[in-house]
């Protein structure tokens, strides 16, 4: 399988058989678990329920390891909301779905990102990552022995969701109600509490969430992972509707269900816990020796086959070919722009750059009282019970990946690492979710392999292991395949939290890292000029590591007041964001290291760059540390006043009121949604 | 033209679960002495006041509005529509 | 002092509240599952936030019929301090222990943000350490947090000193910008914002920890 290309081992990675989530050792006897999944096809037809049940599924994966879910992150992609009313409806409904589900569970949605691009027209990508936390000694060590009981716990099994996985490869127009999954966050909350209580009483031998493929997949995968057989009776399954056929029962993707293996000595206590929370708890079968999965209806055997056959469907080695579209991209750079101030104003208020407060204001991002750094900055930070801090972020850059799948994918991974580093945390693990069109198209499969290669290379170079991943294929809209959209979540650990302070009058703005003329896939090219093409930013792992180490050392010594990642919209946007959040102006000189021409200096999205804010008393220490490390940096200017000014030599090229920029930045997404 | 009130009831299709109805049934109604109740389904009702030549046209017009503007998601929900003369 | 933290199916701020009461303010706290009676030895009761019964029908409407509510009523009549936060406030209102109703925010959406409260009544067991009109920073996180009462009720509440907290700004369209109220006796207090989320400097972005005085007030009441 191609995914084996990603390095899965590292000093902090804990591997357990049968886990859907990755596990990291957080120190002091505690672990962090993490997982990412998408719910793209269901969200494209029923965005509220699709997005909500997406949250539910990934939360149950975290729970399956025996850890309590402590955070949700969402990565969302829709069509062009400036023009497309349907995209607006999809966006608004998906956000409501995530909010209603996560808020009800009491699991905070602490971070995420949203992007709009015409390639997702009439479609939606809804990725959800979740993080769990618990004691290492409480992890469920999946095991089973002959005679153990197989229990289905949680909501009832109904016809909704029958054939949902199959639906993924069907056309979206087919209005089949069976693909719709109705979210019930209340039942999910009860399952969480019941499972945690059962784990506390050590009643769980093995556990698995019911996801795609329903019971048939959960049973076969569990038997295969544990090296046992399972015999079950469809008549024992609690159904919501009468007259369901065995096939419907086995493949129903009704939400909020868990498969638990327990012993006959423990079943009574498990049933008592389920009775307390009033969730159903049916013994549907038992563990047998040998690897057979036997499905019965009363006395009659309906199926009897090796579990390994059902569980291990392989990702075939398909043909791949460099796509011809790459040779047809725009090659000509845009001409000079008349008004840089207007361009910056436009970018700051653009759908892909403006403030996401409209989204995260709907999410309870504080419940659980762990949130030290809130959404809206580079990465969010949670406090852990072992006195340490976890930084998390999620990222994708399909515009870069479209013009260069390999460097685009590596770049989005690096960007996620930069975001985590900005909080003083060192990246410790990553999750990837690879979203592409049909892999049967050799050109699409090529972009898949290239993206995977880019992620694997950066992962190896940086020693950041992949702790979990998923693949979502056949993401096609009526107008064709989506752009390659690998999504990356990065987790980092820190001993002390670094909470950014506002920039004040007289503080210095410094850029670390080279700015290059790499404008392919940038917001400047695509949003301002409508150009798709050009050279995409390239990550050099050695530079990436050196720059990141310097930033982490500056933060460790508390020499800087804040660090901000330089990405979408380039230096001009990143500096403006610092000014808007600090409510102060800045005079910025554009003598940036790397030798980029004016427009690139302002708007290029070159990687491995950070903006630093230092006050007068630590400025010398900052520059001497950067000098000693031999990392490129430039003194951009000083904060003060109420205007953003960018000067090219002596000539002022941008002069913008921070207050005005702030108003446009903070209100534009909400204004777009409410049309 | 005369005025009509057209009532549109939006509810999940039969076979699609209704967690809110289930909770009200199981955790409230059946906790009292009301075992005679076997099912509760929730719905949302919209009441349109509309001027049309006759009741049938009012009904057809509102049905079209609901379909065109996606007032309900046909994948999940069904609507039932009733009409009476008068205004809200 | 022993504080009972009542847990309903769907409560989700119970563990946060328990942590703040015990680890931060060194009070003795105990979880009380809604189907069991309240222990006789509790000196105060907190109904924490969350989504009891998934907020179905109306927020708090189903939990208000829970067996534990009879005990809460009995102890409230015996002057035991009772605090309802967010969903806990909604439950107290639905159970008739506090006047008014909580409606959907005028934005029609869930809101999670920091705001400021003005202390109106500093005579309750949860506000005695505040000065009157003191401004305190605190976060809200709710979808149905718009306090409503009719004009007559509002006038009577004003007369009785039943308005405990008002918002510093127009936040959600609440009548009289009300964020928290109490019963005429003052021992039952309900509020939409979350004091347990503002009590520790590490997770309080405002740098002002005055909201902790709510828990200090409760603790001081126990000592006196």
Average pLDDT, chain A: 93
Chain B residue numbers with beta carbons less than 8 Å from the beta carbon of C62 are 23-24, 27-28
- Strand, helix or coil for residue A316: coil
Q: Give the tens place of pLDDT for each residue, A68-103.
A: 999 999 999 999 999 999 999 999 999 999 999 999
Size of interface B-C (CB pairs under 8 A): 23
What share of chain A has pLDDT > 70, as a percent?
Answer: 95
| Res. A434: pLDDT tops 90 | yes
- Strand, helix or coil for residue A508: strand
Please give, rounded to a whole number of angstroms, the shortest distance from the CA of B75 to a CA of chain C.
Answer: 23
- Contact assignment for C57 to B24 by CB distance below 8 Å: yes
pLDDT value of residue A179: 60
| Res. A2: pLDDT tops 60 | no
pLDDT grade, residue A310 (50/70/90)?
low
| Res. A309: pLDDT tops 80 | no
pLDDT value of residue A181: 81
Chain A, nearest residue to B26 by Cα:
A278
Q: Give the tens place of pLDDT for each residue, B5-39.
A: 999 999 988 878 899 999 999 999 998 889 999 99
- Contact assignment for C54 to B31 by CB distance below 8 Å: no
Residue A235 falls inside a structural domain: no
What is the complex's ipTM, to 2 decimals?
Answer: 0.96
Instruction: Estimate the crossing angle of helix A185-200 against helix A85-105, to 10 degrees.
Output: 30
What does the alpha-carbon distance between residue B37 and residue B20 come to, in Å, rounded to a whole number?
A: 15
Mean pLDDT, range A519-540, rounded to an integer: 96
Total residues belonging to chain A: 675
pLDDT value of residue C223: 61
Name the β-bridge partners of A435: A472, A485
Chain B residue numbers with beta carbons less than 8 Å from the beta carbon of A186 are 19, 23
| A161-175, A419-433, B12-26, C77-91, range with the lowest pLDDT | A161-175
pLDDT value of residue A177: 43
Block residue for tokens 């996401």: A356
Mean pLDDT, range A316-340, rounded to an integer: 90
pLDDT grade, residue A175 (50/70/90)?
very low
Alpha-carbon distance values, B58 to A503, B51, B80, B87, B88 (Å): 62, 7, 14, 12, 14
Whether pTM > 0.90 for this model: the answer is: yes
Query: Half-sphere exposure of residue C108, counting CA atoms within 13 Å on the CB side?
Result: 3
What does the radius of gyration of chain B's CA atoms come to, in whole angstroms? 16
Neighbours of chain C (3+ CB pairs under 8 A): A, B
Mean pLDDT, range C90-99, rounded to an integer: 97
B34 contacts: CB under 8 Å, gap ≥ 6: none
Residue A390, token pair as written in the block: 């976890």
What does the alpha-carbon distance between residue A579 and residue B75 come to, in Å, rounded to a whole number?
A: 46
Chain B from 26 to 65: CB within 8 A of any A CB: 26-27
Mean pLDDT, range A635-661, rounded to an integer: 97
What does the alpha-carbon distance between residue A347 and residue A333 come to, in Å, rounded to a whole number?
A: 18
- Contact assignment for A158 to B17 by CB distance below 8 Å: yes
Q: Which domain does A641 fall in, by range?
A: 500-666
Q: Is A453 exposed, middle or buried (0-12, 13-18, 19+ CB in 10 A)?
A: middle
Block residue for tokens 């591997």: A15
Please check whether residue B23 touches A, CB under 8 A.
yes
A97 contacts: CB under 8 Å, gap ≥ 6: A43, A47, A48, A49, A50, A51, A52, A54, A55, A183
Phi, psi of A500 (to 5 degrees): -60, 140
Q: Give the tens place of pLDDT for each residue, C156-201.
A: 999 999 999 999 999 999 999 999 999 999 999 999 999 999 999 9
CA C146 to chain centre: 14
pLDDT value of residue A313: 52
C134 contacts: CB under 8 Å, gap ≥ 6: C118, C119, C122, C210
Q: Give the tens place of pLDDT for each residue, A196-235.
A: 999 999 999 999 999 888 999 999 999 999 999 999 999 9
Residue A658 falls inside a structural domain: yes
Chain B residue numbers with beta carbons less than 8 Å from the beta carbon of A241 are 15
Q: Give the tens place of pLDDT for each residue, A269-297.
A: 999 999 999 999 999 999 999 889 999 99
Q: Give the tens place of pLDDT for each residue, A455-514.
A: 999 999 999 999 998 899 999 998 999 999 999 999 999 999 999 999 999 999 999 999
- Greatest alpha-carbon pair distance for chain C in Å reads 44
What does the alpha-carbon distance between residue A671 and residue A663 come to, in Å, rounded to a whole number?
A: 12
pLDDT value of residue A595: 85
Yes or no: say if A215 and A303 are a contact pair by the CB < 8 Å rule: no
- Contact assignment for A182 to B76 by CB distance below 8 Å: yes
> Is the domain covering C2-223 a CATH 3.40.50.880 domain?
yes
| Res. A114: pLDDT tops 70 | yes
pLDDT value of residue C224: 55
Q: What share of chain A is helix, strand, coil (3-state, %, to 5)?
A: 35, 25, 35
Considering only CB atoms, A175 lies closest to which of B12, B16, B74, namely: B74
Q: Is C181 exposed, middle or buried (0-12, 13-18, 19+ CB in 10 A)?
A: buried
From the list C12, C45, C13, the residue with the least C-alpha distance to C27 is C45
User: What CATH number should be reported for the domain holding residue A604?
Assistant: 3.90.650.10
pLDDT value of residue A165: 47
Q: Give the tens place of pLDDT for each residue, C3-13.
A: 999 999 999 99
Please give, rounded to a whole number of angstroms, the shortest distance from the CA of B17 to a CA of chain A.
Answer: 6
Residue A628 falls inside a structural domain: yes
Considering only CB atoms, A185 lies closest to which of C54, C111, C139, namely: C54
pLDDT value of residue B88: 65
A502 contacts: CB under 8 Å, gap ≥ 6: A561, A562, A581, A582, A583, A584
Chain A residue numbers with beta carbons less than 8 Å from the beta carbon of C111 are 361-362
Q: Give the tens place of pLDDT for each residue, A119-173.
A: 999 999 999 999 999 999 999 999 999 999 999 999 999 887 665 444 444 444 3
What does the alpha-carbon distance between residue C85 and residue C72 come to, in Å, rounded to a whole number?
A: 15
Mean pLDDT, range C68-77, rounded to an integer: 97
What does the alpha-carbon distance between residue C79 and residue C77 come to, in Å, rounded to a whole number?
A: 5
Chain B interface with C: residues with Cβ < 8 Å: 19-20, 23-24, 27-28, 31
Which of the two residues, B15 and C83, has the higher pLDDT score? C83
| Res. C222: pLDDT tops 80 | no
Chain C residue numbers with beta carbons less than 8 Å from the beta carbon of A383 are 202-203
Q: Domain tally for chain A?
A: 1
- Contact assignment for A160 to B26 by CB distance below 8 Å: no
Chain C interface with B: residues with Cβ < 8 Å: 9, 53-54, 56-57, 61-62, 65
From the list A451, A444, A371, A185, the residue with the least C-alpha distance to C203 is A371
């Amino acid at each position: 399988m191609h995914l084996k290309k990603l390095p899965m081992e590292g000093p902090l990675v804990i591997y357990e058989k049968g886990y859907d989530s990755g596990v990291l050792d957080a120190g002091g006897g505690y672990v962090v678990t993490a997982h990412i999944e998408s719910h793209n096809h269901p969200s494209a037809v029923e965005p509220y329920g699709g997005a909500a049940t997406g949250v539910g599924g990934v939360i149950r994966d975290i729970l399956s390891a025996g850890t309590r879910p402590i955070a949700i992150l969402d990565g969302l992609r829709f069509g062009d909301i400036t023009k497309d009313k349907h995209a607006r409806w999809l966006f608004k409904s998906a956000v409501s779905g995530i909010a209603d589900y996560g808020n009800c569970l009491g699991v905070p949605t602490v971070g995420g990102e949203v992007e709009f691009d015409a390639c997702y027209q009439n479609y939606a990508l809804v990725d959800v990552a979740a993080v769990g936390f618990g004691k290492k000694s409480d992890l469920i060590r999946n095991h089973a022995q002959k005679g153990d009981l197989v229990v289905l716990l949680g909501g009832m099994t109904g016809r909704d969701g029958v054939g949902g996985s199959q639906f993924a490869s069907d056309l979206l127009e087919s209005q089949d109600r069976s693909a719709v999954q109705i979210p019930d966050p209340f039942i999910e909350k009860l399952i969480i509490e019941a499972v945690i209580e059962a784990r506390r009483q050590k009643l769980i031998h093995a556990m698995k969430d019911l996801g795609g493929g329903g019971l048939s997949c959960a049973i076969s995968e569990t038997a295969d992972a544990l090296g046992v057989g399972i015999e079950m009776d469809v008549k024992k399954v609690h159904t919501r509707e009468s007259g369901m056929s065995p096939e419907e029962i086995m493949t129903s993707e009704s939400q909020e269900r868990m498969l638990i293996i327990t012993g006959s000595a423990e079943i009574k206590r498990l049933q008592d816990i389920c009775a307390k929370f009033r969730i159903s708890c049916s013994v549907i079968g038992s563990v047998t020796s040998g690897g057979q999965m036997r499905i019965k209806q009363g006395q009659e055997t309906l199926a009897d086959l090796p579990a390994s056959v059902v569980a291990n469907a392989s990702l075939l080695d398909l043909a791949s070919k460099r796509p011809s579209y790459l040779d047809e991209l725009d090659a000509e750079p845009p001409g000079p722009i008349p008004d840089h101030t207007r361009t910056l104003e436009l970018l700051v208020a653009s759908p892909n750059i403006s403030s996401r407060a409209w989204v995260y204001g709907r999410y309870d991002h504080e419940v659980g009282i762990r949130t030290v750094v809130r959404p809206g900055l580079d990465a969010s930070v949670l406090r852990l019970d072992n006195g340490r801090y976890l930084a998390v972020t999620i990222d994708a850059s399909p515009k870069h990946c479209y013009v260069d799948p390999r460097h685009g994918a590596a770049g989005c991974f690096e960007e996620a690492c930069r975001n985590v580093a900005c909080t003083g945390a060192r990246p410790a693990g990553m999750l990837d979710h690879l979203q592409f069109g049909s892999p049967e198209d050799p050109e699409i499969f090529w972009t898949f392999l290239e993206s995977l290669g880019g992620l694997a290379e950066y992962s190896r170079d940086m020693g950041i292991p992949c702790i979990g991943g998923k693949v979502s294929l056949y993401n096609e809209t009526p107008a064709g395949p989506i752009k390659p959209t690998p999504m990356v979540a990065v987790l980092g650990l820190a001993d002390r939290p670094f909470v950014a302070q506002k920039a004040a009058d007289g503080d210095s703005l410094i850029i670390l890292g080279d700015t290059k003329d790499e404008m392919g896939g940038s917001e400047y090219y695509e949003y301002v000029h409508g150009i798709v093409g050009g050279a995409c930013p390239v990550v050099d792992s050695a530079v990436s590591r050196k720059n990141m180490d310097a930033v982490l050392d500056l933060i460790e010594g508390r020499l800087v007041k804040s660090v901000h990642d330089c990405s979408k919209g380039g230096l001009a946007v990143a500096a403006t964001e610092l000014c808007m959040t600090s409510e102060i102006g800045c005079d910025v000189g554009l003598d940036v290291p790397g030798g980029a021409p004016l427009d690139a200096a302002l708007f290029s999205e070159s990687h491995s760059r950070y903006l630093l804010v230092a006050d007068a008393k630590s400025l010398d220490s900052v520059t001497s540390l950067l000098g000693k490390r031999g990392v490129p940096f430039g003194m951009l200017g000083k904060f003060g006043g109420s205007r953003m000014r960018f000067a090219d030599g002596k000539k002022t090229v941008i002069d913008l009121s921070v207050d005005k920029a702030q108003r446009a930045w903070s209100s534009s997404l909400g204004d777009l949604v409410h049309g | 033209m005369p005025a009509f009130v057209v009532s549109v009831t939006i509810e999940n299709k039969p076979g699609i679960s209704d967690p809110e109805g289930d909770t009200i049934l199981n955790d409230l109604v059946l906790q009292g002495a009301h075992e005679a109740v076997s099912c509760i389904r929730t719905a949302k009702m919209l009441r349109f006041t509309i001027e049309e030549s006759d009741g049938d046209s009012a009904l057809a017009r509102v049905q079209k509005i609901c379909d065109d503007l996606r007032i309900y998601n046909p994948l999940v929900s069904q609507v039932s529509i009733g009409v009476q003369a008068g205004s809200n | 002092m022993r504080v009972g933290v009542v847990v309903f199916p769907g409560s989700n701020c119970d563990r946060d509240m328990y942590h703040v009461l015990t680890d931060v303010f060194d009070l003795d706290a105990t979880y009380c599952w809604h189907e069991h009676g309240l222990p006789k030895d509790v000196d105060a009761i907190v109904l924490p936030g969350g989504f009891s019964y998934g907020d179905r029908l109306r927020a708090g409407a189903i939990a208000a019929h829970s067996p534990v509510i009879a005990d809460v009523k009995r102890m409230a009549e015996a002057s035991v301090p009772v605090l309802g936060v967010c969903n806990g406030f909604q439950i107290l209102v639905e159970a008739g222990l506090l006047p008014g109703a909580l409606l959907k925010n005028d934005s029609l959406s869930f809101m999670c943000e920091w705001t400021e409260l003005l202390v109106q009544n500093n005579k309750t067991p949860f506000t005695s350490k505040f000065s009157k009109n003191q401004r305190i920073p605190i976060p809200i996180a709710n979808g149905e947090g718009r306090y409503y009462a009719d004009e007559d009720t509002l006038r009577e509440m004003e007369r009785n000193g039943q308005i405990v907290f008002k918002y510093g700004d127009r936040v959600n369209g609440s009548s009289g910008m009300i964020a928290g109220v109490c019963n005429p006796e003052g021992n039952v207090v309900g509020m939409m914002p979350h004091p347990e989320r503002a009590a520790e400097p590490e997770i309080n972005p405002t740098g002002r920890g005055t909201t902790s005085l709510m828990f200090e007030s409760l603790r001081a009441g126990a000592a006196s």
